[in-house]
Amino acid sequence: MSTVWTAPPAKTETNYLNESYGIKSWLLTKDHKRIALLYLAAITFFFAIGGFFAVLIRLELITPAGDLMQPETYNKAFTMHGVMMIFFFLIPAVPAVLGNFLVPLMIGARDLAFPRINLLSWYIYMIGGLFALYAMVAGGVDTGWTFYTPYSSTYSNTQVMATAIGIFILGFSSILTGLNFIVTIHKMRAPGLTWFRLPLFIWAHYATSVIQILGTPVVAIAIVLVGLERAFHIGIFDPKLGGDPILFQHLFWFYSHPAVYIMILPSMGVISELVTCFSRKKIFGYGFVAMSSVAIAVLGFLVWGHHMFVSGQSVYAGMVFSILSYLVAIPSAIKVFNWTATLYRGSISYQTPLLYALGFIGLFTIGGLTGLFLANLGVDVHLHDTYFVVAHFHYIMVGGAIMGYLGGIHFWWPKISGRMYPEGWARFSALVLFVGFNLTFFPQFVLGYLGMPRRYHAYPEEFQVLNVLSSAGASILAVGYLIPMIYLIWSMRYGKPAPANPWGATGLEWQTPSPPPSYNFEETPVVTEEPYVYSHEEAEVV
């Protein structure tokens, strides 16, 4: 970092960042790119809160005795960690930030179909967030992010209501974003941009939007019912009032399992863009990668019962959910194989976004493979509700979804900010993240098979060594998250100005200046070929 860059004086054309100034120009903006940045600021804030609670959890678990916090505090810490990370960070992360910024740019549109609704969904998100923050400072909530009844509906004396209201409100933001994307992708594609010329990022967001629209209302209903039961004892879930506590698990997982795909599918879309760009290759098997997103979205709705293998549900129901869960693994495997095959005979450049993409493929593979254990009736009885599950879903959500998110943030940062980030630091922190992540979560697979249950504030002494390893890894992981936050903020002012297309990528978003003007494109682009055409040589079929 020898030279300090200031904005070059030659650059005078207006873009979406410098077109107008002042708080009002941001808070009342209808520009999808500015709204994306509003989301970026908001989700980074909630990520920091969720991360803070993760630190508390790992600190407590360094010793087997519950000596750092009271049990109530620990239970609130893991609940707030889950609520903040899942509802307020992972679900909106890629769609609301990168999707918002890129969907119109990638399809050659000037904005989303409903710019006002887009802004509205950010405000709804913030109102939901305020409720959750209120719940946090007013004493917290201790039900776990899963809100299982009758504990949540009858027994817990914490801020269940405020949190539930927050998540209920938040859901509308997710629904509106999904709706906006679907309409935009249907109606606003540039001339010549047929469905099978769409970038895979768009296909992934389309599939995600369908899940958001169909799934979110169900969790909203479940949350309303918990609220009504708490307030009026109406007897939906509490057996003492004639209700059925397992009903909640059905309603909750009918949304919350597809929600995992809301988190991972957009990141998969990011990975397809990164792998093609940094190997200068067409994606291997475009149709299969695109359709596997749709298959995941559809099959994802049919597997919720695998969260309930030991709930006392019928063994035959368990059998059906087990085979359906195995089916959903196949489109995921197709994606991994196609990304890998895309590298074959490519021209691979190890820039930071590709490091994240390769990290994603590796960690998602481990996360997916360990899902085979949990979908398996015979083994899941032992593994259910142990640390094996914790490790598995962190491999998917952190190793997968967050790696994809960070890879995407780095890839499009020049477009978003108009500045380059320091490549050396970026590669270094990608490596730190990969090492820290594995050290944190791999030992938890072993802990899980040993039988350590989830959500334990104190644990038997023989589990300590593995827990210390995990906490040590978490401290490395934390450094891996802090470094990018610092240099990305630094780069907004001091980074080298970015050219329109720093990576030599295809895609319409790279054909407009960095940062783009408010109206995105001077002239509506016309698309004449498939995506990822890095060479006009005739394509081989192997």
Partner 1 sequence: MTDFPLFPEKASTIAQSVDTLYWLLVAISAFFAVLIFGLIFFFAIRYRRRRPDEIPRPILGSLRLELFWSVTPGLIAIAVFVYGTVVYFRNAAPPPDAMEMYVVGKQWMWKIQHPEGHREINELHVPVGRAVKLTMTTEDVIHSFYIPAFRVKMDVVPGRYTTMWFQPTKPGKYHLFCAEYCGTQHSGMKGWVYVMEPVDYENWLSGKATTESMAAAGERLFQKLGCQSCHRADAPGRGPVLAGLFGSTVLLATGEKVVADETYLRESILRPQAKIVAGYRTQMPTFEGQVTEEQLLQLIAYIKSLGPKERIDTAP
Q: Considering only residues 324-353, where is the footprint of partner 1 by CB under 8 A? A: 326-327, 329-330, 333-334, 336-338, 340-341, 343-350
> Closest approach of Cβ 127 to partner 1, in Å?
29
361 near partner 1, judged by CB under 8 A: yes
> Closest approach of Cβ 288 to partner 1, in Å?
5
Kindly write down the DSSP assignment for every residue of 469-499, as one continuous string: HHHHHHHHHHHHHHHHHHHHHHHHHHSPBPP
424 near partner 1, judged by CB under 8 A: no
Residue 45 or 148: which CB sits closer to partner 1? 148
Residue 148 or 490: which CB sits closer to partner 1? 148
> Closest approach of Cβ 22 to partner 1, in Å?
42
Residue 224 or 241: which CB sits closer to partner 1? 241
> Closest approach of Cβ 501 to partner 1, in Å?
14
Number of C-alpha atoms within 13 angstroms, CB side, residue 475? 8
Q: Which two tokens stand for residue 314?
A: 């019928």
Given a contact cutoff of 8 angstroms between Cβ atoms, the answer to whether 521 and 507 are in contact is no
Residue whose pair of structure tokens reads 């030599």 in the numeric block:
504
Contacts of 355 (CB under 8 A, 6+ apart): 407, 427, 430, 431, 434
Residues 289-318 that bind partner 1 (CB under 8 A): 310-312, 315, 318
Given a contact cutoff of 8 angstroms between Cβ atoms, the answer to whether 281 and 342 are in contact is yes
> Closest approach of Cβ 63 to partner 1, in Å?
10
32 near partner 1, judged by CB under 8 A: no
462 near partner 1, judged by CB under 8 A: yes
Residue from 460, 479, 519, 526 binding partner 1 (CB under 8 A):
460
Alpha-carbon gap, residue 20 to 14, rounded angstroms: 9
Of 194, 191, 275, 215, the closest CA to residue 505 belongs to 275
281 near partner 1, judged by CB under 8 A: yes
Three-class SS state of 97: helix
Residue 187 or 382: which CB sits closer to partner 1? 382
Stretch that binds partner 1, among 86-94, 262-270, 297-305, 462-470 (CB under 8 A): 462-470
75 near partner 1, judged by CB under 8 A: yes
Which secondary structure element, helix H or strand E, spans residue 204, and what is its range? helix 200-232
Residue from 110, 197, 280, 496 binding partner 1 (CB under 8 A):
280
Residue from 450, 472, 482, 527 binding partner 1 (CB under 8 A):
450
Instruction: Please tell me the count of residues contacting partner 1 according to CB under 8 A.
Output: 99
Rg, the chain, Cα only = 23
Of 509, 536, 503, 517, the closest CA to residue 190 belongs to 509
> Closest approach of Cβ 335 to partner 1, in Å?
10
Given a contact cutoff of 8 angstroms between Cβ atoms, the answer to whether 201 and 105 are in contact is no
Residues 366-385 that bind partner 1 (CB under 8 A): 366, 369-370, 372-373, 375-382, 384-385
Residue from 267, 386, 512, 520 binding partner 1 (CB under 8 A):
386
Residue 216 or 342: which CB sits closer to partner 1? 342
196 near partner 1, judged by CB under 8 A: no
As a residue count, the chain comes to 542
> Closest approach of Cβ 104 to partner 1, in Å?
27
Given a contact cutoff of 8 angstroms between Cβ atoms, the answer to whether 112 and 103 are in contact is yes
Residue 12 or 314: which CB sits closer to partner 1? 314
Number of C-alpha atoms within 13 angstroms, CB side, residue 531? 31
Alpha-carbon gap, residue 92 to 118, rounded angstroms: 13
Q: Is the peptide bond before 191 cis (omega within 30 degrees of 0)?
A: no
541 near partner 1, judged by CB under 8 A: yes
535 near partner 1, judged by CB under 8 A: yes
500 near partner 1, judged by CB under 8 A: no
DSSP H stretches of helix in 61-141: 71-82, 91-92, 100-106, 115-137
Q: Which two tokens stand for residue 247?
A: 């009903």
Burial of 446 per CB tally in 10 Å (0-12, 13-18, 19+): middle
148 near partner 1, judged by CB under 8 A: yes
> Closest approach of Cβ 362 to partner 1, in Å?
6
502 near partner 1, judged by CB under 8 A: no
Residue 259 or 466: which CB sits closer to partner 1? 466
Burial of 212 per CB tally in 10 Å (0-12, 13-18, 19+): buried
Q: Which two tokens stand for residue 172?
A: 């509308």
- Extract the runs of DSSP E, i.e. beta strands, from 270-328: none
Residue from 150, 166, 171, 480 binding partner 1 (CB under 8 A):
150
Residue 234 or 478: which CB sits closer to partner 1? 234
Residues 246-265 that bind partner 1 (CB under 8 A): 246
Residues 221-240 that bind partner 1 (CB under 8 A): 238-240
